[in-house]
Amino acid sequence: MFRSFTDKMSNTNSANNLLVNALSERKEAGLLRSLTLVGHLTDFCSNDYLGLAKNRELSSQISAEFAAWESQQGRDVPINGSSGSRLISGNHAYTEDFEKACAQMHQAPAALLFSSGFEANLGLIASLAQKEHVIFCDKLLHASLIDGLRLAPAERRIFKHNDLADLVHLLDQYPQETLKWVVVESIYSMDGDVAPLEALVKLKESHNFELIVDEAHAGGAYGPEGAGLCVELGIQDSIFARVITFGKAWGNAGAVVLGSNELRSYLINFARPFIYSTSPTPHHVLSLHTSMNFVRKADSLRIALQDNIHYFKTLQKSADWGESNTAIQTFFVTGNEAVRTKAAQAQAAGFAVKPIVFPTVPKGKERIRITLTASTSSEAMQKLVETLESNA
């Protein structure tokens, strides 16, 4: 039976109306998201912690190394795209070479590359946590981990942020033999505070669980050669899986899951974002390899970042600043409207900062999230703090 053209049009109209209504509800609630260009403002909102996304020396190295690789390839080699998913036609020597070198840098037996941190987390959590398992997650986990949990059949328990007593209380409710996963971030993306990683590793001895650590905000910026906080603390062998993302301190995009060779094979078999997606392009993977070599040698940038964090903290006089000692700093302004107004003042003064509103953060915890990089200038930090702390 064919539907008339007018039927189809009215369906399309009502579908479109659904979207319009949902958007206007968001707008009325003051929660409408929209895209803006921040190009001309002084950066205080990117995750480019070492300034590598803008680094010309790195960009020249990436171009030169790609050109050298390309010139050695025969006519039948895909040079612009990978040509398929890894399990079909998209597995290439340059990708396996990168994964091996990346695993070695992070002192892990194996690494598996994903196109983004979101996909890595989604694929890892959704495929690992089975029906008969229990997965314990910190309340402030990133959306990519939460979405992985939503797809996983395991029972989910949420513990208070960084609160080990609460975690123990939940763990004690399950038999020793139940397989338990605990998921944390080494540095939390909204508050910039650090997970009690050493205490968690100690807790494993008495409470029998496996630990998964998302190192998105620590990779490249912390640890020897930028290998992350777990390596800095020497606990890498006690972590079941680590996720390092490349869109932040590495100044690129993508992510690896680090762990055993068995974990790598398991993800190749069961992680759907890995299996059913075109693998990253040769240019992407080769640029990651070049970036990795650059990151390993970037101690001076890691030191500059730490110096900037230290200096920024000395400028803070108001009680509205959060506790963080990392590149993610927070200035609390209660209420969605008030925090938006404060952010608009800072933007008008030339600073790229973003208000983080409810429901992204709990009510009453609205804040301006500020990120520092190795190249943030002292003058910009002084002026930003003045602007935020002024009552204008």
Ligand X SMILES: Cc1ncc(COP(=O)(O)O)c(C=O)c1O
Q: Which residues are at the interface with ligand X (CB under 6 A)? A: 116-118, 121, 142, 144, 185, 189, 214, 216, 245, 247, 255
Token output for 299: 């101690």
| Backbone angles phi and psi of 216, in degrees to 5 | -50, -45
- 142 catalytic? Reply is yes
Shortest-Cβ-distance residue relative to ligand X: 117
- Which residue has tokens 């209504």? 21
Using the minimum distance from each CB to ligand X, give the nearer residue, 42 or 121: 121
Q: How many CA atoms lie within 13 A of 289 on its CB side?
A: 20
Using the minimum distance from each CB to ligand X, give the nearer residue, 217 or 302: 217
- 217 catalytic? Reply is yes
CB of 193 to ligand X, least distance (A): 12
- 127 catalytic? Reply is no
Using the minimum distance from each CB to ligand X, give the nearer residue, 137 or 385: 137
CB of 171 to ligand X, least distance (A): 23
What three-state secondary structure class fits 317? coil
Out of 185, 191, 215, 366, pick the active-site residue. 185
Using the minimum distance from each CB to ligand X, give the nearer residue, 185 or 385: 185
Burial class (CB in 10 A: 0-12, 13-18, 19+), 318: exposed
- 186 catalytic? Reply is no
List the beta strands (DSSP E) in the chain: 42-43, 110-114, 134-138, 155-159, 180-185, 210-214, 241-245, 255-259, 328-332, 351-352, 354-356, 367-371
- 308 catalytic? Reply is no
CB of 148 to ligand X, least distance (A): 10
Spatial distance between the Cα atoms of 303 and 312, rounded to a whole number of angstroms = 14
Burial class (CB in 10 A: 0-12, 13-18, 19+), 153: exposed
| C-alpha dihedral, 300 to 306 to 307 to 313, nearest 10° | 170
- 161 catalytic? Reply is no
Out of 43, 48, 138, 214, pick the active-site residue. 214
CB of 334 to ligand X, least distance (A): 24
Burial class (CB in 10 A: 0-12, 13-18, 19+), 24: exposed
Length of the chain: 392
Using the minimum distance from each CB to ligand X, give the nearer residue, 117 or 220: 117
Out of 92, 133, 142, 180, pick the active-site residue. 142
Angle at 186 between CA 238 and CA 384, to 5 degrees: 160
Token output for 192: 């910039």
Out of 189, 277, 279, 336, pick the active-site residue. 189
Using the minimum distance from each CB to ligand X, give the nearer residue, 247 or 259: 247
Out of 92, 106, 180, 248, pick the active-site residue. 248
CB of 146 to ligand X, least distance (A): 10
Burial class (CB in 10 A: 0-12, 13-18, 19+), 266: middle
CB of 117 to ligand X, least distance (A): 2
- 299 catalytic? Reply is no
Active site residues: 47, 142, 185, 189, 214, 217, 248
